[in-house]
Structures are given as C-alpha cells and as structure tokens.
C-alpha cells in the first residue's frame, strides 16, 4: 500500500467514525465562546507550498492579533473548551481534512508557519520540506507538553527558536531518513499512547 492510499484510507475512516464527536465538539466550541468552530492558519507544506491548516478553534476570537503565534503556558487567550481540546490533542482532528485534500499526511514533520521555516538552515529546510507534513511525528510525541515548557521560559520565542526548534529539526530529519508505512504505524500508535498517558 502506498503512503497516499494509507493516508486516504485511515483519514477517510477517521472522518466517518469520528463524525459524532466532531458535532459534539463543534457545539461545545460555539456554546463556550463567540467565533467560528474552525481555526485556519497559513503553514508551509511540501517543497515550500503554502496551505491553510484546519484546527478546532481553542482560543478567543482574533487571538493572533492579541498575542504571539506561540502558545505559552496557561495562555489567557485559550477558552475553557480549548484547554480540554488541546490537552487531549482533539483540536488537531480537523487536519484529517488536510490529509484528504493531499496537503498533509497522517505522519510527517509538523508544518510550521512561514516565519519559523525562514529560520531553518538551508540544507535542513530542503530535507524537511522534501516530504508531506504530518499530523504527528517523533517531535510531536517528544514535545507533547511544549506549551508548558515554553511557559517556564523567560523569553518563550527565543527559547523556541534557539532550543526547541533545532531539536525538532533533528527529529524531522530522522523521520525523512527512516520513513516507511511501518514507521508511520508505530508513530501513530505511540501518539495515541502518549495522549492516553495524559489521563
């Protein structure tokens, strides 16, 4: 089975099976705070192509205009429903739509905003952007509590750029060199176990 067929099969199945959960989440978001159900943001995809990522909205309306692009610690912009969705990574579920559209894969380097991609070393940028970005990967598992880590930094943006991003790039390059359907299956399982561990 090719990676694209693998993605389409599991993303399509997920969209169908999780439809009732999506409806419940959508109603909760609308009830909890004014604004749209989905949050969309420009990210950098394969070969530098820009696309708009789907997420369930977890922050107040116009959150990006009220603060940094990074989410740090107990960010006051996060809504009550958003805190729960983020904790269990449910806000990432709409990215199954990006997978079906062919903009993302289930597993691959996490897509970044253009600002941070512009800071990647050139050779590393070519490697990372040579594959489709994904919903999860090694770095997503390692940094599942990234917001809390950044919340302890005196300068979160600098800490992300100088400390976290270089490590993430190493994980992205590792995935590119090791990628296979078997690796994808292991990473999906590891991600589910990591999320379950939060309970």
Low-confidence ranges of the chain (pLDDT < 50): 199
pLDDT of amino acid 199: 45
Are the CB atoms for 94 and 56 separated by under 8 Å?
Answer: yes
Pairing assessment for the beta strands 134-136 and 105-107 based on DSSP bridges: parallel
pLDDT of amino acid 67: 60
pLDDT of amino acid 92: 95
**H-run or E-run covering 15:** helix 3-17
Q: Which residues contact 78 (CB under 8 A, 6 or more apart)?
A: 58, 59, 71, 86
pLDDT of amino acid 77: 85
Compute the residue count for the chain: 199
Are the CB atoms for 107 and 184 separated by under 8 Å?
Answer: yes
pLDDT of amino acid 63: 66
pLDDT of amino acid 159: 87
Query: 0.95 exceeded by the pTM?
Result: no
pLDDT of amino acid 146: 80
Question: What CA–CA distance (Å, rounded) separates 144 from 51?
Answer: 23
Residue holding tokens 């749209």? 36
| Strand segments (E) across the chain | 38-44, 50-56, 105-107, 134-136
């Amino acid at each position: 089975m090719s990676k694209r067929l693998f993605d389409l099969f599991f993303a399509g199945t997920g969209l169908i099976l999780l439809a009732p959960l999506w409806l419940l989440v959508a109603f909760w978001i609308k009830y909890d705070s004014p604004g749209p159900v989905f949050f969309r943001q420009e990210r950098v995809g394969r070969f530098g192509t820009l696309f708009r990522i789907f997420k369930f909205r977890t922050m107040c309306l116009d959150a990006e205009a009220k603060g940094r692009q990074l989410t740090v610690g107990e960010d006051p912009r996060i809504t009550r429903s958003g805190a729960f969705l983020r904790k269990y990574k449910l806000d990432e579920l709409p990215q199954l739509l990006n997978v079906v559209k062919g903009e993302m894969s289930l597993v691959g380097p996490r897509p970044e905003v253009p600002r941070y991609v512009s800071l990647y070393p050139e050779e590393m940028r070519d490697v990372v952007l040579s594959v489709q970005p994904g919903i999860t990967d090694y770095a997503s598992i390692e940094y599942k509590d990234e917001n809390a880590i950044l919340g302890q930094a005196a300068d979160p943006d600098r800490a992300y750029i100088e400390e976290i991003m270089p490590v993430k790039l190493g994980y992205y390059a590792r995935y590119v060199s090791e990628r296979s359907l078997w690796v994808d299956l292991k990473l999906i399982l590891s991600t589910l176990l990591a999320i379950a561990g939060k309970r």
